[in-house]
Amino acid sequence: MLKLYNTLGRTVQEFHPRNPGKVDLYACGPTVYNFAHIGNLRSYLFEDFLRRSFEYLGYEVTHVMNVTDVGHLTDDADEGEDKMLKSAREREMSVWEIAQFYADAFFADTDRLNILKPQVVCRATDHIDDMIKLIQRIEENGFTYSAGGNLYFDISHFPSYGELALLDRSDLKSGARVAIDPNKRNPQDFVLWFTQSKFGRQAMVWDSPWGRGYPGWHIECSAMSTRYLGEQFDIHCGGVDHIPVHHTNEIAQTEAATGKKWVNYWLHGEFLVMDDAKMSKSAGGFITLDSLIDAGFAAMDYRFFNLGAHYRTQLQFTFESLTAARSARLRLIDRVAELMKAAGTDTSQALQEESGTQARVTDIQQRAGSASSYLDAFRNHLEDDLNAPRCIAEVWGLVKDDRVKPSDALQALSDMDRVLGLRLISEAWSKLEASREDMLTPDLLDLIRRREDARRERDFKTADEIRGILKDRGVAIEDGPNGTRWKKL
């Protein structure tokens, strides 16, 4: 039975989906006025691990993620400058080009990290109508007031305001903290629609029943999640920083509109920290995936590094610990390559073809052998609030256990890797291929490459001629679905 820590209630709870065998998952996505930093990427790695775990456990997942492509939707402060405009000016692009540029950069990062793309990726600017309709419902239900040209959400009409964040209601009522915005009746009230810009200049504005302007920060997630997943769904996630304001306000406004409990499970990933400080996208000076790659690391090193910590504990980033993660990952790949050699080429090839999504846990469990006990333990750790470090410990246990038949170990590993996403089998295979390439002389390698070029150009006559030459020189060629392979005769 899968158990997850629900921020709503602060307890580990058995997971019961609304519809058996199906999970609806909404994750707050990136703001695209700058590159994602490695802290942001930790949150997306956590959500990917969550999604893969559900799929591994046999659920059908619908994963929805928004892209905040409007800079001024990113916070409630009444000061500073529109982040999208600032970025556009600095890069000499339009705000629309900026959004596209950083969204592309974000998905390039997530691809390299082997993060599965959500089934639905939705942009804020494509859903302004949905936001307006939702705000109208909130207004009809009496949860709003207008002041200073803006439409506000009135938290005093929503008795459970702050439940997610365990906010102290007496503190909220007293208004002890000074509100920055003098239009607010309570310090925690928030804007649903702005007509009076917070900033000097505004690039993106839309018509609405409240005048020409733009939506408040939180409404996009409520509007897009309910549009794609319905008015009630299973899981909403994001980083822990979203608990006190963004997610608290999302709950208030959505439930004010629908009159129903919205989301059953709230999951939050802890922060990646550096020198005890949190990384901030708006403050600049942060580390990106590209900068790790420039420093000689692979994207998979960062993925592996993240698997070393439970998602609910802070993770301290240092280059020393990333270096240690890289060495461990490379040792693991070496060990997988050794298992492949021990299992024989045919098995390895078959495994490579089925790596990723196709290997099935049941294939292993039908066999007597201790690989299945590692798989059982792996699954138990997953079901215990996604304990990634313990899952990794099972991987090490498995690869080091001489009693397990290499082919069984490989099949179990390729199964576990459906959750870990480390591309263990294909990376080990590439390593073996690279060492096999060393066994060929450069002119033979050149012939193999020329034959591949000929095949790509559908020049099968030349390809056959080169195959004949290679055969005469002691190398056999086989063409398969995953490309061409060679072996020494």
Q: Which residues bind ligand AMP (CB under 6 A)?
A: 28, 30-31, 39-40, 42-43, 238-239, 241-242, 269, 271-272, 278-279, 281
Kindly identify the residues of this chain, within the stretch 21-80, that bind Zn ion according to CB under 5 A: 28
Nearer to Zn ion, 28 or 444 (CB): 28
Nearer to ligand AMP, 243 or 409 (CB): 243
Ranked by CB distance to ligand AMP, the top (closest) residue is 239
Nearer to ligand AMP, 211 or 308 (CB): 308
Q: How far apart are CA 404 and CA 398, in angstroms?
A: 8
3-state secondary structure at position 475: strand
What are the φ/ψ torsions at residue 119 (nearest 5 degrees)? -60, -35
Q: What angle do CA 388, 392, 396 make, to 5 degrees?
A: 170
CB atoms within 10 A of CB 480: 10
Nearer to Zn ion, 122 or 392 (CB): 122
Q: How far apart are CA 264 and CA 344, in angstroms?
A: 48
Tokens of 213: 């302007």
When CB distances are held under 5 to 8 angstroms depending on the partner's kind, the choice from Zn ion, ligand AMP, none that residue 239 binds is ligand AMP
Beta bridge partners of 151: 146, 193
Side-chain half-sphere exposure of 344, counting CA atoms within 13 A: 5
Q: How far is the CB of 454 from ligand AMP (least distance, A)?
A: 47
Q: Which amino acid is at 201?
A: R
Q: Nearest CA to 194 among 76, 84, 103, 80? A: 76
Q: How far is the CB of 48 from ligand AMP (least distance, A)?
A: 13
Q: How far is the CB of 271 from ligand AMP (least distance, A)?
A: 4
Binding mask 429-458 for Zn ion (x = CB under 5 A): ------------------------------
Kindly identify the residues of this chain, within the stretch 368-407, that bind Zn ion according to CB under 5 A: none
Q: How far is the CB of 241 from ligand AMP (least distance, A)?
A: 5
Q: How far apart are CA 416 and CA 116, in angstroms?
A: 16
The answer to whether the beta carbons of residues 70 and 82 sit under 8 Å apart is: no
Q: How far is the CB of 306 from ligand AMP (least distance, A)?
A: 10
Window contacting Zn ion (CB under 5 A); options: 91-99, 162-170, 221-229, 366-374: 221-229
The answer to whether the beta carbons of residues 138 and 170 sit under 8 Å apart is: no
Q: How far is the CB of 307 from ligand AMP (least distance, A)?
A: 15
Tokens of 173: 């009522």
Nearer to ligand AMP, 111 or 478 (CB): 111
Nearer to Zn ion, 221 or 412 (CB): 221
Strands 190-194 and 150-153: antiparallel
- The residue assigned the tokens 């339009």 is 94
Number of residues that bind Zn ion (CB under 5 A): 2
Nearer to ligand AMP, 240 or 342 (CB): 240
What are the φ/ψ torsions at residue 304 (nearest 5 degrees)? -60, -40
Q: How far is the CB of 275 from ligand AMP (least distance, A)?
A: 12
When CB distances are held under 5 to 8 angstroms depending on the partner's kind, the choice from Zn ion, ligand AMP, none that residue 30 binds is ligand AMP
Which residues of this protein are in contact with Zn ion, per CB under 5 A?
28, 221
